[in-house]
């Protein structure tokens, strides 16, 4: 896809961060005692998150100093892959429901999610334990599922798994387009170049 030259060559900076559990996807908040992204790196003035992860979610987040870049990425149907640890042993029937689309109530309106990729992860991924532990198997089994979306409604993955009977206990975004979380540690920041940001 053609990209306007002023976006491609602008002297802006772009980053990936592994957002830990319990942090907001922002740098300023009027609520006291909230954990913010600025704790992890000396980001340049004007840095903003491209999209967001809610406070209880973890994983890959892209940041930029360029509002046009943020708008460009958000306007494209860029794939976002999530790993969700769910309550119970997810069934094939539930996976098919996720793949075909789920009826949800989002911001007061009825919505059917677009068809997506959904598969059980076996074996389970090996992530570091988060700061607030997920309940253990004494309270019943859990399983992991990969869900890949090209849309991003508020708390969509959590609402989708709950709608098919398997509430999400832990949610980690592992990929945005060609960018992967891989072995980044929670709180780790990696600067990416402009070419990489737009080579989706």
CA–chain centroid gap for 113, Å, is 17
**Which listed residue (6, 30, 54, 126) is catalytic?**
54
In this structure, the strands spanning 80-87 and 58-64 are unpaired
Block residue for tokens 């997810």? 90
Q: What residues have CB less than 8 Å from 173, skipping those under 6 apart?
A: 53, 57, 58, 59, 60, 61, 80, 81, 82, 181
Residue 30 annotated to the active site: no
Q: How far apart are CA 132 and CA 92, in angstroms?
A: 30
Known catalytic residues are 54
């Amino acid at each position: 896809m053609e990209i306007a030259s002023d976006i491609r060559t602008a002297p802006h900076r772009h980053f990936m961060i592994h957002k830990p559990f319990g942090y907001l996807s922002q740098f300023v908040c009027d609520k006291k005692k909230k954990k913010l992204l600025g704790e992890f790196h000396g980001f340049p003035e004007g840095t903003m998150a491209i999209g967001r992860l809610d406070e209880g979610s973890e994983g890959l987040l892209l940041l930029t100093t360029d509002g046009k870049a943020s708008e460009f990425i958000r306007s494209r149907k860029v794939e976002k892959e999530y790993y969700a640890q769910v309550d119970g042993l997810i069934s094939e029937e539930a996976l098919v429901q996720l793949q075909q689309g789920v009826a949800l109530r989002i911001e007061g309106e009825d919505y059917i999610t677009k068809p997506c990729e959904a598969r059980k992860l076996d074996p389970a991924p090996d992530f570091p334990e988060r700061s607030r532990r997920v309940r253990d198997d004494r309270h019943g089994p859990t399983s992991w599922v990969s869900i890949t979306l090209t849309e991003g409604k508020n708390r969509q993955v959590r609402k989708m798994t709950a709608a098919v009977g398997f509430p999400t206990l832990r949610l980690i975004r592992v990929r945005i387009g060609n960018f992967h979380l891989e072995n980044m540690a929670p709180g780790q920041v990696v600067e990416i170049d402009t070419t990489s940001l737009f080579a989706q």
